Structure 1
Amino acid sequence: MSKPNDTVELGFVEKSPLWKLRSKFFPSKVGGYPAWLALKDLPKTEELLCKKCGDPLGFLCQLYAPHHDKSECFHRTVFVFVCRNPNCSEENDASNIRVFRSQLQRENDYYRATPAEEKEEGSESPSAADFNPLCRVCGALGPKTCGGCKVARYCSKSHQAKDWKAGHRQECQHPDKVSNTSCPGSKQFLFPEHEISMEPEELEEEVPKTEEEVMKEYEKLLLSGQVPSTYDDDSDTQDLLKMATKETDKQFQRFRTRIKEYEDQVIRYDRGGEPLWVSSENKPKDIPPCPACSKPREFEFQVMPQLLVHLKVDSTGKSIDWGTVLVYSCPDSCEQSKAYIEEVAYKQDYSPISQVMKNQK
């Protein structure tokens, strides 16, 4: 995906045969195992750990986003990982999210210069499994080997334990039947896998909403649990909602107005543009520059809250959540010595109704 003009590209979840989401077809997708681009020199195990709890991250999504004006970015994919532990998901804190980009020239060590024929037969190769031992649970590097069957590989003791409890305990007794690329434990860990299809955003002339219309939307979102609040769902909350009719976050109004025609969008791709903020609060002020070329990183795309619906992470208690996840990357996508370069994720959440009221006084 290259961005030749000011058009924002929107991503939508679509069902697709899973074989079409493998590495050789350069997919944009959510869930399942990563479809690694560069098939060697994958991110090290320690690079894919949550900065909060230290557990392995789960693959969230990837976007195929080549820069057609740079030969070294003929193929280019950005990968997003998130911690599966809901306790690590805190407001306006992206410590549980990590982002990596990988890029290749048209002539490279893994893929033909011409597009691969779209057919299931032979779609599994080339893949990272051809060059590396991979964790059966998450699809990342798997340096650890099961001491029993000597076949199953894992990225960590925690994923080995997860797979053992999920069924490898019995499977391990029959090494000849053990797969080195899939396992029972992966079904508990991986997000549901779907294709992300992209299309340009086509905007209609905006008609400003009345305060009553905006407040109804905000109230609906708040009571659904998607907007954090310090108040319970009782009469006090209702009174506060009524009091807030003239104090709603103006940025939230713009957010809701902008997405109303495409409410199912899960990605907004706008390289070098301005994010669609969900709140006037907690905008980034200190995105670090690219460590290689020292240029300020630029906004590339954002993951929208609608993706949470497809992840099946909702629960009555704490769960993985965000207002939006913003990805910032090197504007030149500069080459470095590694096949996978870590970029920056920033998380912005909806402002609690109490904060909105405080800010608007």
Structure 2
Amino acid sequence: MAESHVDLGFIEKTEPSKLTCQQFPSKVGGKPAWLSLSPLPSPNQLQCSKCSAECIFLLQVYAPVEEDENAFHRTVFVFLCKNPDCHQPNSQDPFVVVRSQLPRDNDFYSSEPPTPMTPAPTKGDKLCVVCGISGPKCCAKCHSRSYCSKEHQTIDWKTGHKKNCSESCEDMTTDSSQILFPEYELQIEEEELEKEEEKSEAEKKDELRSFLDSDKANSLLPDCSPGDLEKMSNQSTDKVFLKFRKRLEHAPDQVLRYERGGNPLLVSGENKPDDIPKCTCGAERQYEFQVMPQLLSHLGVDRMEASIDWGTLCVYTCSKNCYHGNQYQQEFLWRQDYSNQV
């Protein structure tokens, strides 16, 4: 991914074989395709800071840095808590972001480019059979199934392991469809913009009101409630939101925007990401990519009683790209919701 322009991510169904760790994918949902295979982040490191439940893998972006020999391979992972009660407006609590990077010569992968026939690495920590994160626990009876928590062990037991528990059940598949998000490949393309004539402020305000009253608003902002749209329409001076929705019109299906060292496309002039904590190494963090609200319609998170939503999720990573060998480094996510526009 180049750093001098914006790259867009679009989801696409593909063969699972393209989304394994040795293929270095960018992907949404399913289990994480870890980069460094040991040591993995512990289950405690991937807990929701609100309810302490295990966060579920949301997406990963493969983003090597050409000028950094220690980032020949580099992937940023985003996890989230699936409990809607933890998703308070503009709260970062239910999200966890970690970064992994490796030099070309490393402990897990060949220095040669992968092919469809490249075998999976044989090294690595044991993985939870339900969610794919580190699985330090195991079945006390067969010792061949690993888990991140008692909760996921119970899920595996109820969905088939109880009937098939034996020393030879290691490769038995687990139905994780109620736990994991649907799996997609993230296809990355450069953003292309058409030049437009600059409009007056009055024209922009009228255009914003018309847009928010139209059916098109619901298609571009699928998880924004009618009440929020009505309030946005009254907030006619919100130039930030106007810029956001105009930029989306060029590629309405985008679910991710990538511009390391650039600036995010915000949904509101309020709750801006102005207070980003430094990396633990002491360096400033910089914006790298953002997750767009269009992704929500593909995740199956809508519920009658409660649902998960966001305006945009902005991920910030170490500007120095600090290297910690095979260790994962925690990074930072800033969440901005529509509700603070009103």
The alignment's TM-score, normalised by the length of structure 2, stands at 0.91
CA 1:290–1:177 in 2, change beyond 3 Å: closer, same or farther? closer
The answer to whether the 8 A contact 1:2-1:65 is kept is no
Residue in structure 2 matching 1:147, options 122, 125, 140: 140
Q: Report what 1:126 is aligned to.
A: 121
Counterpart mapping for 1:1-361 below 5 A:
1-3=1-3, 5=4, 7-119=5-117, 123=119, 125-126=120-121, 130-172=123-165, 174-179=166-171, 182-184=173-175, 186-207=176-197, 208=199, 210-219=204-213, 220=215, 221=217, 226-227=223-224, 244=234, 247-292=236-281, 294-336=282-324, 339-351=327-339, 356=342
The answer to whether the 8 A contact 2:10-2:186 is kept is yes
Q: Report what 1:359 is aligned to.
A: none
Cα displacement (A) at 1:178: 4.3
Cα displacement (A) at 1:283: 0.7
SS, match of residue 250 in structure 2: helix
The answer to whether the 8 A contact 2:208-2:236 is kept is no
CA 1:225–1:107 in 2, change beyond 3 Å: closer, same or farther? closer
The answer to whether the 8 A contact 1:82-1:97 is kept is yes
The alignment's TM-score, normalised by the length of structure 1, stands at 0.86
SS, match of residue 9 in structure 2: strand
The answer to whether the 8 A contact 2:131-2:179 is kept is yes
Q: Name stretches of at least 5 consecutive residues in structure 2 with no aligned partner.
A: none
Distance 2:149 2:137 in 1: 7
The answer to whether the 8 A contact 1:215-1:248 is kept is no
The answer to whether the 8 A contact 1:2-1:66 is kept is no
Cα displacement (A) at 1:161: 1.9
Cα displacement (A) at 1:291: 1.3
The answer to whether the 8 A contact 2:71-2:101 is kept is yes
Cα displacement (A) at 1:217: 3.0
CA 1:176–1:334 in 2, change beyond 3 Å: closer, same or farther? same
The answer to whether the 8 A contact 1:228-1:350 is kept is no
Distance 2:193 2:264 in 1: 16
The answer to whether the 8 A contact 1:57-1:83 is kept is yes
Distance 1:140 1:134 in 2: 5
Distance 1:297 1:178 in 2: 41
Which one-letter code corresponds to 1:76 in the other structure? R
Q: Deviations over 1:29-48 (max 9, x none)?
A: 00111111111111012101
CA 1:247–1:137 in 2, change beyond 3 Å: closer, same or farther? same
Sequence identity, in percent?
Answer: 46
SS, match of residue 227 in structure 1: coil
Distance 2:207 2:304 in 1: 28
Which one-letter code corresponds to 2:186 in the other structure? I
SS, match of residue 208 in structure 2: helix
The answer to whether the 8 A contact 1:51-1:96 is kept is yes
The answer to whether the 8 A contact 2:59-2:79 is kept is yes
Q: Deviations over 1:132-153 (max 9, x none)?
A: 2110111111111112332211
Cα displacement (A) at 1:212: 4.1
The answer to whether the 8 A contact 1:281-1:351 is kept is no
CA 1:206–1:349 in 2, change beyond 3 Å: closer, same or farther? farther
Q: Kindly report the root-mean-square deviation, in angstroms, between the aligned alpha carbons of the 2 structures.
A: 2.3
Distance 1:303 1:64 in 2: 14
SS, match of residue 262 in structure 1: coil
The answer to whether the 8 A contact 2:101-2:326 is kept is no
Distance 2:211 2:128 in 1: 43
Which one-letter code corresponds to 2:121 in the other structure? P
**More deviation in 207-216 or 219-228?**
219-228
Distance 2:170 2:21 in 1: 23
Q: Deviations over 1:229-267 (max 9, x none)?
A: 7x59xxxx97x677x2x6352211110001101010011
Q: Name stretches of at least 5 consecutive residues in structure 1 with no aligned partner.
A: 357-361
